[in-house]
Structure 1
Amino acid sequence: METRVLTVTSLGTWRTSNQSINLDWVTDPKYTSVKIINSKLTYYVGDTLFHEVIARDGNKRRKVYGGDYLRAVLRDNDQKASTTGRVRDHGNGRYTVSFLLSFPGRSTPDVQLIHPSEAVQLLRELREIPNKRRWSCVFEGKQGQDVTKTCTHLANQSLSLSSQCDFSVLNTSRTWFYEKPEVTACNHITKCRSAWDIVDRLVTSDEERQLFDSPFFRTNLVPATNGSIIVSNIEENATLARSLPLCQPGLPHSEYQGFWFRDSWHSLTCKVQQFSPQDITECLANRTLQFRGDSTCRQWIERLGALKIFKEGQGDKQSRLFFRHYANNRSNIQATFKFHTVPIQASAWWRFQKLSDAGVSTEIERMVGGTNVVLVLSLCAHFTAEPKHVYSNRMYEVRSAIQELHKKYPETSVIVKTCNTRHHQHYRESIQMSDWLADQLNQEMRGILGDLNVAILDVWDITVSQRYPPNIHPNVNVVDNELNILMSYICSGMKTP
């Protein structure tokens, strides 16, 4: 087991030299204040609403440093409308929350403490510790006697390298190590699945665990006064989305991504249209779609199958989790989904492939592109528990592969989906899969892929502001609205009713 080494913070005395935590110094939502700072009787669509948040600890003292992870959503439940606010951290315990008022009606701001700054610091430190996850892998033994060994994504520092099998591909992020089996060869590995047994050894104190539980986790901040506001239209049917560009690669990242209104997502980035199943079929006619990544884009292809856009080919239950093939012969549509390679967080068994032959970047390099080929990528959820360099290296490999694909087939459409929010039931899930971690990966992905000829399909605000409970696999209505964005990128400018 790797030794946990943490740096003692100089920000206050919430953690002492022996790493014990004083929860009275932690940001406390009970005493943290929220108030509107540009209050008026009536606001108009297009105005910006500002709130000030002052963080205080359990002793009601104002915090003198920032770093709290806040989330803000403006909601009108009667109209099934909502939008995400932007949070500016001033670094001194003061935060400014801004909402672009995008729909008329009576709305209520909801500002939430997702993590206090102390939990964020702990997450940042724990993120860089390797092998917070382990896998049980099966090796085919002699005379049918299978052997099970523990595997790790990075080399196990508690074992000598000579006692580990190394399946890594040189100069890539595709790494895999496991203790050598005594009675069979390294290359007899057949399948793996996740084993949860590490986080409890890293987060050892009740105080550390408390940071990821009530009242410090996902707690609403109480506004100083009645927070509801009235928003009116300047003119009848006024909208912020009248002069948006078509959905295409290279669009700048919008500060405000869009808003929900009457259960439909209205983008403020580009012209997103509403697609019926017939519209989708017409859009995808004579196209090949290659979905590569995790189960959040598998959910997209499953939904398209459920809408009868195409039919799924044959496959056993286990392989369907990691590979799908669909076709619509009448409209000449082909679509495939394939899961990315390690790390894979899954309780189900998955077949281990030789890493030199597996992986999204390898598949892209071998892909035949063209005008009617669409590549959809989603790489996020399974990387949140890894040190930052693991994800960065994977993204640089994907970047290089996309560049090579576009050299050979410049007309190939490449669409990259961001991370979305998820549910967290236990502190172990927060440590390994916090939304803060996913948010960091979104920023890293934009920084690495953002200047390529790719469309970045941002679903973060959609899932932050949805009216449904957070889930790594969102409600079907959220998926349908995400598919409207996807189709708007694939068939930009197509006329729909």
Structure 2
Amino acid sequence: MVYDMGAPSPTGMGERLTKMSYSFAKYRILFTLVVTIAILILIMNIHHMQDTHSTTLKTAPYSKDFAFPRSYQSLKQKIQMKKVVATVKPMICHYQNQSSVPEERSEEMFLLKMIEWPMPPQARTPFMNSTDPKHSHFLILNSQNTFHVGDQLQVMVHMYDFSGNPKQYGGDYLQARIHTPELKAGSVGTVVDYLNGSYKINFTLFWPGKVEVSVTLVHPSEGIQVLQRLRDERPDKVYFKSLFRSGSVQETTMCSVCLPETAPLCNFTDLKTGERWFCYKPKKLPCTTRLNHAKGGYKKGLLKGAEGRFLTSKVNLQQPVLPSGPGFVNVKASTHAGANLRRCVRGKSLASPSGFYYQDQWMSATCNIHRFNTPNITACLRKKIVHFFGDSTIRQWFEYLTKFQPGLKRFPLGNNENTGPHLAIDMKNQIMVKYHCHAPPIRFYIETPNMLYIANALDGIKAGKNTIIAITLWSHFGTFPVEIYIRRIQNIRRSILLLLNRNPDTQIVMKTANVQALTPEGSLYNNNWDSFQLDVVLRKMFKGINVSFVDAWEMTVAHYLPHELHPQQIIIKNEIDTFLSHVCPFAK
């Protein structure tokens, strides 16, 4: 198995204040009207440019080497027709894919089989028989050899239990990287599970000097057994709520993609995509009075027996595995390495390793990454509309651009900071940047009118050469069965294919998941194994589609900074540089 890794005023003063307030309100309305007109003019200008530069449907919406798998032959025909409305079965808690497209149901089964994880042979493993990172070790193969840049480095990892016995089965989740701290250099390794307690890790040596190897046990196989049970059996471990109000009457009820039918339900299933969502019906109000969506909280008491011991800090959760010999190799420069890379193009799948850090800059293994300062970013995005869709990790891109682009001013829409929607405009350069979060499940407050499924948003975009779309969603889906994530991505992918049929010149970028810090309790609701599985699914589902990728997963695993759900600024800058290198590959 392979995985990638004050006081009352006098009357006179009150009258003057009233007049001043009226005058201020009048000017505020006038100011708002002027700004709104300016924005409308800008939008019209940009859309005019899109109409001017849009290409007719002479070009396929996927790369030249893309071939639909057998199961996609009829899907290829369907995307040219009106979008199929998925059917919804009444069994609310039944996770079978409800798509009306047979190929999508087959794809789901294939993907679930692809990400099957090897589990311990016993339903309950004694703790002393579980993986112990302190007893385990790794060994660099042929460490005495002379290595050059471009060579492969192989490492064997042997896992032991707390009794000091070799493990006889696999399924541990490992992360590995090579790094040179003085050079701020790093890259990830690819792990091969031999299913017998041994693992091989393959690295590509990208830079010369002393290169150190680090191996981390993220979760033991016994811990993953717990996480998988919770993911599949307890989709209610994060619960949601909505406020319903009419006049002075208001009620709050619980909501989710799956609710036990212990009381009448409000069915908020999206009619176009078939994405399901339910709330318990208020006792005194109709379903149409729903005002918002928010996280309700986290369920407690999820673990059974001694399961918590498999998710213990400083014991078996995100712990280092040490070398049994040298933990580094010396790498010499190579005359064959360092060939000029081509510009970044769409339609190419991500390989692993997809790149490396050197002097804190991300270098792609396949294309040339430019370094974008403020003028470069302005030049790249001039006369363009940028749409960011997804969770808070792509909202960071919106926040980065508005922070470091002085001409890009946020327009106060008064929406929730976490979910938006948000808008920023550079009037001089005719740049518009938007952010919109994805629809539930999302663990933030959002008002009902602002809830929008990404697939529906894509269907409504009049795209073209001057439209850039970047998408990510993963973090809020890890607590649910993978089928729900697959269904969401299938809807988004279908809309992307339709959009590319309409406007093949539209730039679409997918940002992968990224790693995050882990705590024993936090791992029950967000963990890197669940995120890794969703990321594998995303990459596979977009293989061969004419989109670009930003490999945030490897960019966070390879970096020396601690793992965080919201990576620090230096990592975000590298993500932005990679994003813009695909959008503007000819930048200087």
Same fold (TM over 0.5): yes
Matched, 1:169 2:270: yes
Matched, 1:310 2:404: no
Please state whether the residue corresponding to 2:400 is helix, strand or coil: helix
The one of 376, 399, 408 equivalent to 2:493 is 399
Please state whether the residue corresponding to 1:92 is helix, strand or coil: coil
Larger RCO (CA within 8 A; separation ≥ 6): 2
Please state whether the residue corresponding to 1:29 is helix, strand or coil: strand
The CA deviation at 1:170 is: 4.6
CA–CA separation in structure 1 for the residues paired with 2:137 and 2:561? 26
CA–CA separation in structure 2 for the residues paired with 1:25 and 1:376? 45
Larger radius of gyration between Structure 1 and Structure 2: 2
| Letter paired with 1:33 | H
Aligned pairs for 1:415-426 within 5 A = 415-425=509-519
Which residue is 2:440 aligned to? 342
Please state whether the residue corresponding to 1:433 is helix, strand or coil: coil
The CA deviation at 1:102 is: 0.9
Q: CA 1:56/1:171 → structure 2, altered by over 3 Å: closer, same or farther?
A: farther
Please state whether the residue corresponding to 1:225 is helix, strand or coil: coil
Which residue is 1:134 aligned to? 239
| Letter paired with 1:274 | R
Please state whether the residue corresponding to 1:272 is helix, strand or coil: coil
2:226–2:307 CA contact under 8 A, matched in 1: no
- The alignment-based identity, stated in percent, is 27
| Letter paired with 1:75 | H
Aligned pairs for 1:193-204 within 5 A = 193-198=294-299, 200-204=300-304
Please state whether the residue corresponding to 1:31 is helix, strand or coil: strand
Which residue is 1:6 aligned to? none
Aligned pairs for 1:414-493 within 5 A = 414-425=508-519, 427-493=520-586
| Letter paired with 1:159 | T
Greater Cα offset, 448-457 or 435-444: 448-457
1:450–1:456 CA contact under 8 A, matched in 2: no
The one of 294, 298, 304 equivalent to 2:395 is 298
Q: CA 1:169/1:182 → structure 2, altered by over 3 Å: closer, same or farther?
A: same
2:517–2:564 CA contact under 8 A, matched in 1: yes
| Letter paired with 1:183 | K
2:192–2:201 CA contact under 8 A, matched in 1: yes
The CA deviation at 1:209 is: 4.9
The one of 285, 288, 293 equivalent to 1:192 is 293
Which residue is 1:151 aligned to? 255
2:143–2:326 CA contact under 8 A, matched in 1: no
Aligned pairs for 1:240-251 within 5 A = 240=338, 242-251=339-348
Matched, 1:213 2:310: no
| Letter paired with 1:174 | E
The CA deviation at 1:482 is: 0.7
CA–CA separation in structure 1 for the residues paired with 2:399 and 2:417? 14
Gaps of 5+ in 1: 3-8
After superposition, give the CA deviation of every residue in 1:450-482 in whole Å (9 maximum; x if it has no partner): 222111221111100111111111110111111
Gaps of 5+ in 2: 1-92, 94-117
Q: CA 1:158/1:202 → structure 2, altered by over 3 Å: closer, same or farther?
A: farther
After superposition, give the CA deviation of every residue in 1:329-388 in whole Å (9 maximum; x if it has no partner): 211111111111111023xx3212487xx2100000011001111111111111111111
1:173–1:393 CA contact under 8 A, matched in 2: no
After superposition, give the CA deviation of every residue in 1:243-274 in whole Å (9 maximum; x if it has no partner): 43321111132221111111111111311111
CA–CA separation in structure 2 for the residues paired with 1:485 and 1:438? 21
2:292–2:446 CA contact under 8 A, matched in 1: yes
Which residue is 2:430 aligned to? 332
Runs of 4+ in 1 over 6 A off after TM superposition: none
Please state whether the residue corresponding to 1:202 is helix, strand or coil: coil
Total equivalences in the alignment = 470
Q: CA 1:459/1:197 → structure 2, altered by over 3 Å: closer, same or farther?
A: closer
Matched, 1:382 2:509: no
| Letter paired with 2:350 | H
Matched, 1:233 2:351: no
Please state whether the residue corresponding to 2:498 is helix, strand or coil: helix
Matched, 1:352 2:448: yes
Matched, 1:364 2:458: yes
Which residue is 1:287 aligned to? 384
| Letter paired with 2:245 | E
Aligned pairs for 1:38-57 within 5 A = 38-40=142-144, 42-57=146-161
Which residue is 2:365 aligned to? 268
The CA deviation at 1:141 is: 4.1
Please state whether the residue corresponding to 2:346 is helix, strand or coil: coil
After superposition, give the CA deviation of every residue in 1:62-112 in whole Å (9 maximum; x if it has no partner): 112111100111121111111111111111111001211111121221100
Which residue is 1:259 aligned to? 356
CA–CA separation in structure 2 for the residues paired with 1:106 and 1:112? 20
Query: What TM-score, normalized to structure 1?
Result: 0.90
Please state whether the residue corresponding to 1:96 is helix, strand or coil: strand
Please state whether the residue corresponding to 1:405 is helix, strand or coil: helix
Could you say what the CA RMSD is over the residues aligned between the two structures, in angstroms? 2.0
CA–CA separation in structure 1 for the residues paired with 2:500 and 2:212? 46
